[in-house]
């Protein structure tokens, strides 16, 4: 069984990265989800992309271009731009789901 690889992008104000790492996922973190940053953490080999800032929604099509099979999870209280919705698998509001609950859903 291979280890699930997760990339977290954004400011992570709700500290989703900590519980993901504690749960045993292989974790990479970038502040800005631009192409060069995503390539530097080998997004092409990742399983899940967790975006923590709706303002970086343009990173979703970039990540999917580099890895079409990528599962995209958005974890923010902000509204996501309509253009990014079709490529997003799951949108969770931190006011409703704590980081540990989100982490439990990553393998689902």
pLDDT in tens, 86-106: 999 999 999 999 999 999 988
pTM: 0.95
**80-106: buried (b, 16+ CB within 10 Å) or exposed (e) per residue?**
beeebeebbeebbebeebebeebbeeb
Token reading at 17: 């990265």
DSSP for 53-73, please give it: -GGGTTHHHHHHHH-TT-EEE
pLDDT at residue 1 in the model: 47
With contact defined as beta carbons under 8 Å apart, do 33 and 62 qualify?
yes
Mean pLDDT by 10 residues, the chain (108 residues): 89 96 97 97 98 98 98 97 96 96 87
Would you kindly state where each structural domain of the chain is located, as residue ranges? 5-105
- What is 5-105's CATH topology? Rossmann fold (3.40.50)
β-strand partners of 48: 6, 71
The pLDDT value given to residue 13: 94
């Amino acid at each position: 069984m291979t280890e699930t690889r997760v990339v977290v992008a954004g400011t992570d104000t709700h500290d989703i990265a900590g519980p993901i790492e504690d749960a045993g996922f292989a974790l990479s973190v970038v502040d800005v989800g631009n192409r060069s940053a995503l390539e530097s953490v080998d997004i092409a080999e990742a399983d899940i992309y967790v975006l923590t800032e709706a303002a970086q929604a343009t990173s979703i099509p970039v990540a999917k271009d580099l890895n079409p099979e990528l599962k995209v999870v958005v974890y923010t209280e902000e509204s996501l731009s309509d253009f990014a919705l079709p490529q997003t698998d799951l949108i969770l509001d931190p006011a409703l789901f704590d980081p540990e609950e989100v982490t439990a859903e990553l393998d689902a």
